[in-house]
Every structure is written in C-alpha cells, then in structure tokens.
Amino acid sequence: MTLAPDSPLATLWCPSPNYEPRVGGRKPDMLILHYTGMESCEAALDRLTSAEAKVSSHYLIDDDGRIVQLVAEPERAWHAGQSLWAGETDLNSCSIGIEIHNPGHDFDYPDFPEVEMRAVEALCLDILSRNAIPPERVLAHSDIAPFRKRDPGEKFDWARLALAGIGLYVAPTPVGDDPGMGAGDEGKAIAELQRVLASYGYGVEVTGTYGRGLEQIVLAFQRHFRPERVDGRADASTLDTLARLIAALEARPLS
C-alpha cells in the first residue's frame, strides 16, 4: 500500500488494516458519502482502523475540516456493507467512501459545520478529478442501503455540492398539502413510482403495492433530493422532483 495520501488535502495518513484488492480489478466509478454516527471523530477513527471492527473508508473528515486518509483509493475499503445500486451488490469494489464526522440521528443530529462542508466539497472535487465517476453515482449511504442506513441524512447539503459540480441534483419542488401515496396503497401509480425509482438505481421491485420497503426507499430519496419533509410518502413534490431528476439524468451528455 502507498505510504502517502492520494489526496494532497489529506493532512494525516492513518492506514486501516481493513482493505483488500478490488474484485476484478474494478476502477472506482462511484463515490459514497457517509456520516460517522459516533459522538467523537476520535472514536470513529479508532473504529475505522480497528482490525476487529472490520470496517473502513478511504477518507474521514472531522468537523474542523481535517481530512484523514485511511485506505488508498485503488484498494477496496469496507464501507458500503450490504447494499445495492443499479442491480450491483459489490459496491465496495467500485466505490470510494468518505466518512464525514457527525454524531447522526441517534445523537441529536447536529448541523454540518461550514468548515466541514468546505472540506467535503474540496475532497470530492479532488477525488472526481482523478476518477471517472459520473454525477449520478455520487450517492448517500442511505441511497444504497435504505433499509439499514439514514446517513448522511437530510441536513447534509447536497445542493451546495451540486453547485460546485458534484453529483446530480435538481432544486426540490416545494412541498404542498397533498397527502400523496403511502403504505397500503396499490395500483398503477405505485408500480410506475417503483419503476422510475428502479430506473435511477434504487433497489426496488415493481409490485404495484406500497409496502414498507418502498416507504424506506422513498425516505432515502427524500433525504437526498427532497429534504424539506422526510416522511416516506410519495406526494406531488416528491414525484415531481423525481421526474425532473430523471429528466436531468437523461439530458446529461454521455462522456
């Protein structure tokens, strides 16, 4: 393994033992953003570098903006866990993972400080400059593991990153007062919602029934793309935001 960080923005190289070669020699084409979900960044660093924990990421960003590299970018870090995107399940082999320190939903979920977001933005741009990662494959941990994860959550500023050229994003349609579709509903409109979510990459089966699984996926979509109200219901705002996101994806020039 390299003894120097891949990114010049990393001020500390703290190797984690939790890595291996990428399966099939895959090159990274996905960037996954997480929050640590721990009360201190020091505790997160200890866990990410513990052989017993069997977890890691390529980078860790503290809330003071400090960037630590833990695993070299060419290696397979262990951050995605059981996950799915666009039919693929070994996301560790095709992704670079960034852990962003925030105690998370279990510890009052504070805002992400400005200095930390500046560091996130700079590191993402640096990673994207070296790796062929399309905008639609810059994702939240909750996007790829909606039944297990909520991070980095609805307070994370995806719109800011998009303005800097990071990720695919559209301005969310304002929330209205319509109740939308929810658990227990059935029909063609549900099947179409499932089909569109699946076309973007979410791991959803087209059944025509709004069950708990679909609710979790809608929650994940809202946390990333429509954070004003995260309730798992497919209201007009959610549906329109999703439709415009798909349109933006289809309009994106092929590289």
All domains of the chain in start order, with CATH: 12-163 (3.40.80.10), 188-251 (1.10.101.10)
Pairing state between β 30-35 and 138-140:
parallel
pLDDT at 185 over 50: yes
- Are the C-beta atoms of 141 and 98 separated by less than 8 Å? no
pLDDT of residue 134: 97
Interval 236-246: pLDDT, tens: 999 999 999 99
pLDDT of residue 255: 60
pLDDT at 209 over 70: yes
pLDDT at 247 over 90: yes
**How far apart (Å, rounded) are the C-alpha atoms in residues 110 and 190?**
34
For 149-170, give one letter per residue: b (16+ CB within 10 A) or e: bbbbbbebbbebbbeeebbbbb
Range with lowest mean pLDDT among 44-48, 106-110, 226-230, 250-254: 250-254
- Which residue is listed with tokens 């020091």? 42
> pLDDT-derived band of residue 135, with 50, 70 and 90 as boundaries?
very high
Q: Which of 46, 166, 77 is nearest to 117 (CA)?
A: 166
> pLDDT-derived band of residue 1, with 50, 70 and 90 as boundaries?
very low
DSSP string, 186-230: BSHHHHHHHHHHHHHT------SB--HHHHHHHHHHHHHH-TT--
Mean pLDDT of all residues belonging to the chain: 96
99 is catalytic: yes
What does the pLDDT average to over 114-143?
98
**How far apart (Å, rounded) are the C-alpha atoms in residues 119 and 71?**
18
What does the pLDDT average to over 160-186?
96
What does the pLDDT average to over 177-196?
96
Pairing state between β 67-69 and 12-13:
parallel
> pLDDT-derived band of residue 4, with 50, 70 and 90 as boundaries?
confident
Out of 75, 99, 116, 154, pick the active-site residue: 99
- Report the amino acid identity of residue 166: I
Interval 40-87: pLDDT, tens: 999 999 999 999 999 999 999 999 999 999 999 999 999 999 999 999
